Structure 1
C-alpha cells in the first residue's frame, strides 16, 4: 500500500482540541511536568540493483539504486516529542516527524497528538492521534535508536506502513498465570496519501492487541480490520465491467474501492541482556489488487559491551495469483481487442507489484556514545516469482529472481 499519512483539517482540529483541553485542564495544576525530547536517523544506502530503487517503506520511498548510487532518503528522519503530565490521571503528548513523503520531499507531519486519562491504576484511555499497535515495534518504529537494526524488516513492516490513526483506545493491565498482561482496544480512522494526487480513506478501523510479559520474554498478538476506499482506478474497472461476465468478475475481485482489509500479527522478543532473539509473522489481506500477503522474520544478536552484531532472515509471500488471463480477446472487434489487451496488461502489472521477496541480513550496532548508535547492515535481497518485491521506480530492464545487495550505514540518536 503505497501511502503517506495525511493530516486532514478535521483530524488537525480534533488533535489540537484534545491537546488544548488537557492543557486547559492543567491550568489549575502547579505541579504539571513538561518533557521534551526527540530522535533522529541519518543513514546512507547503496543498492547494487540499478534497475529499480530500494525503499524501506512505500510511505517514504527512497532512491537507492537506479536513481542514486548512494541515497540518504531511505531511512533518514527527525522527530520531536512534547509531553505533559498534569497530575496522576491526566497527561498529553504531541510528536512530529520530519521525513520524506510520497511527494518526494522531506516534510513534517503529525505522528501523535493525544490525551491520556488514567481511569484506575490498571485502566487507561486515550483520544486523538494514536500509534497503531500492529507490530512489536509499533510505538517506536520511527525512532530507530530503539531498534537493534538499521530498519525494521521491510518484508513485514511495509505491508502496513500506516503507523497511527485518529480515534480512541483503552488499555487494561492485569496479572495472571505468573505473567503480566496488557489488553488494548483501538478504534479510529485515517486518511492515506496514495500518490501526490490521490488520497485514500481508512474508516471504522479497529484493533485488539494482547501483550504478555514473562521475565525477559514478551509476546504480542494483534487482530485488526478497516474499510479502505481508494479513488483513482474507477476508469480501469468500469472498462473491465464493460466486457461482460468475465470483466465484471475481474473488476469485483480486484477493485480497490471500499474494501475491507484484515490484518493479523503475532510476535515475540526474548532479551535476557547479553543476547536477544525476536521474530514476527503477519498477514495483510486487502481483498483487491493491492494484495494478500503473509510475511515474517527471525532475528538474533549478541552484545559484546557496546557492540552488538546481529543477523536476520525475512520473507514475504503472496496468497493470491499475481498473473491472470484477463478478458478474452478472441472474436472481439480490433478496437475492443486493443482495449482488452491494454486492460489485461495493466492489471497484471499491478499484480506483479505485490511484493514476493526474501532478505538475509547481517549487521552491527555500536553504541559510540550515550544516546548515539552507529549501525551498519548488509542485505541480500531477492524478489521472487516475477514480483518486483518491495522495490519502487522499476525500470524495463529489471529481472525478478535475481538477488542484489544493499549496504546501509549511519547514525541513530535521541535527545
Structure 2
C-alpha cells in the first residue's frame, strides 16, 4: 500500500460540492445552520539544559537544541496553530488545522495537522475521511495546544515514544452507554509519511487501530491499540555494510533494520479532574522489532488549583524491554583485514541501540492563569538516563555520560485566540 492520499484536495472538493448542495437543500440547513469558526493557539517558550554534551528535545520529529547546541532554546516547545471549523448542515462538517513548529529539517513551515470531512450518520455514529488525529493518548487530541495542558509539554517519555499525531485515512466513532459510563469507541485505518530527520523519512502503512474512551463525571478512561507496517530510512549504510559480512551480518541487519516491520502500540490511561485538583496517568508499550526497540513507557501526574495558580508534579519513565548493547559481529571469526570495518559496524549498531530510552524524569512546575486565554508556566525537569542509554536526548556527543542527572528549566506562555 502506498500513502498517496491528499486530504487537502479531498477537503477542498468536498467543501465546494457540499456548499452547493447546502445552498440547494434549504430544509436540511434548517436542522443545523451552516457556519464557520476560525481559532488559533500559540506557545512562546524557552528551555535550558545544563548538559553540554547532548540536546534536550520534546520528540524526535520536533528536534530541540537546548544543551549542546545552545544554552537556551526557543525551538523545543514554541509553535503556532490555526484551526478552521466548517459546518454545512446538521450532518456534514469539516475541520482544517495548520501548525508551525520546529521540524526535523530546521524549518518552521506550516504543516497540515488535520484536514477531514465528517458525516454524522446517526446521533451516535460519525464517519470521517482525511487527515485525522490518532486517538492514542489521553491528551492526543490537543497535545500541541499547550494552553489545554497543565504542563509545559506532555511527558517526553510517553508522548515522544510515538511522535505521530495524525494519519491520512478514515475512521468511525460510535457513542454508547454501558457500566454507568458514556463510551466513544473509534476504529481507524490510514497511513502517513513524514520527515524523520534532515535526510530520512518515516512511513507507516496499513495503520489500523481501535480506541475506547469512557467518561463518568470527572473521570475519563482511554484504552487504545494500533498496528502498522513501519519503515524509516535511518542507518541504511550501516545495514548494507552488515550484509556484506555474510550470514551473521545479514541476520543482524534483518533483526534491527526498520524496513516493513510490524509495529504495535498499546496504551491505557486515566484522567480525574473534579475541579480543585487533578490526577493523570498513562502507560503504554511500543514494539517495532527493530533498532527502535521494544519499550514500556508511562507517567503519573497530579496538581492542585489555588486561585490562578496550579502547582503540579510529574513522574515519567521509559524502560527498554530489549538489550541496548549487543556483541554484534563476531570479530574473531573475521579475516584480519575486515576486523576494523567489523568493529566500526558494531559501534554504529550499538550507537543506534543506545538511543532506545532507558530513563526516568521527575518534574515540578507551576501554571499561572494570568488572564483569560493566557497561561504562564514554569517547569523544572530532573532527567536521569541510565544503563548506558542516551535517554531521549539527541545530538549526543562523545562526552555524554549515562547515569548522570540532567536539569532542564523551561518557561512557556500559552495562549488561545
> By how many angstroms is 1:67 displaced?
1.0
Tell whether the 8 Å contact from 2:194 to 2:202 is kept in structure 1 after alignment. Answer: yes
Match of 1:359 in 2: 361
Gaps of 5+ in 2: none
Match of 1:125 among 127, 146, 153: 127
- Between the aligned partners of 1:324 and 1:68, the Cα distance in structure 2 is 33
- Between the aligned partners of 2:11 and 2:339, the Cα distance in structure 1 is 52
Cα distance change of structure 1 residues 21 and 390 upon mapping to structure 2, 3 Å threshold: farther
Match of 1:173 in 2: 175
- Return 111-120 or 17-26, whichever deviates more: 17-26
Tell whether the 8 Å contact from 2:7 to 2:115 is kept in structure 1 after alignment. Answer: no
Match of 1:110 in 2: 112
1:257 corresponds to 2:259: yes
Match of 2:9 among 10, 13, 16: 13
Can you list the C-alpha shifts for 1:345-376, whole angstroms capped at 9, x where unaligned? 11000000111111001111111001000111
Match of 1:411 among 405, 410, 413: 413
- Between the aligned partners of 1:355 and 1:18, the Cα distance in structure 2 is 43
Match of 1:371 in 2: 373
Q: How does 1:34-49 map to 2 (within 5 A)?
A: 34-49=36-51
Match of 1:202 in 2: 204
Tell whether the 8 Å contact from 1:15 to 1:129 is kept in structure 2 after alignment. Answer: no
Secondary structure at the aligned position of 2:351 is classed as helix
Match of 1:290 in 2: 292
TM, length-normalised to structure 1: 0.95
Match of 2:391 in 1: 389
- Between the aligned partners of 2:207 and 2:4, the Cα distance in structure 1 is 17
Tell whether the 8 Å contact from 2:60 to 2:196 is kept in structure 1 after alignment. Answer: no
Secondary structure at the aligned position of 2:128 is classed as strand
Match of 2:88 among 86, 94, 119: 86
Gaps of 5+ in 1: 1-6
- Between the aligned partners of 2:397 and 2:236, the Cα distance in structure 1 is 26
- Between the aligned partners of 1:93 and 1:261, the Cα distance in structure 2 is 29
Match of 1:241 in 2: 243
Secondary structure at the aligned position of 2:215 is classed as strand
1:151 corresponds to 2:147: no
> By how many angstroms is 1:21 displaced?
4.2
- Between the aligned partners of 2:389 and 2:18, the Cα distance in structure 1 is 49
Q: How does 1:308-387 map to 2 (within 5 A)?
A: 308-387=310-389
1:164 corresponds to 2:166: yes
- Between the aligned partners of 2:236 and 2:56, the Cα distance in structure 1 is 30
Match of 2:54 in 1: 52
Secondary structure at the aligned position of 1:107 is classed as coil
> By how many angstroms is 1:114 displaced?
0.4
TM, length-normalised to structure 2: 0.95
Secondary structure at the aligned position of 1:410 is classed as strand
Match of 1:68 among 67, 70, 85: 70
> By how many angstroms is 1:332 displaced?
2.2
- Between the aligned partners of 1:18 and 1:190, the Cα distance in structure 2 is 21
Secondary structure at the aligned position of 2:109 is classed as strand
- Between the aligned partners of 2:7 and 2:235, the Cα distance in structure 1 is 26
Residues matched between the structures, number:
409
Tell whether the 8 Å contact from 1:81 to 1:95 is kept in structure 2 after alignment. Answer: yes
RMSD of aligned residue pairs (Cα, Å): 1.6
- Return 348-357 or 241-250, whichever deviates more: 241-250
Tell whether the 8 Å contact from 1:22 to 1:91 is kept in structure 2 after alignment. Answer: no
Tell whether the 8 Å contact from 1:18 to 1:114 is kept in structure 2 after alignment. Answer: no
- Between the aligned partners of 2:370 and 2:186, the Cα distance in structure 1 is 36
Tell whether the 8 Å contact from 1:123 to 1:172 is kept in structure 2 after alignment. Answer: yes
> By how many angstroms is 1:106 displaced?
1.2
Tell whether the 8 Å contact from 1:52 to 1:391 is kept in structure 2 after alignment. Answer: yes
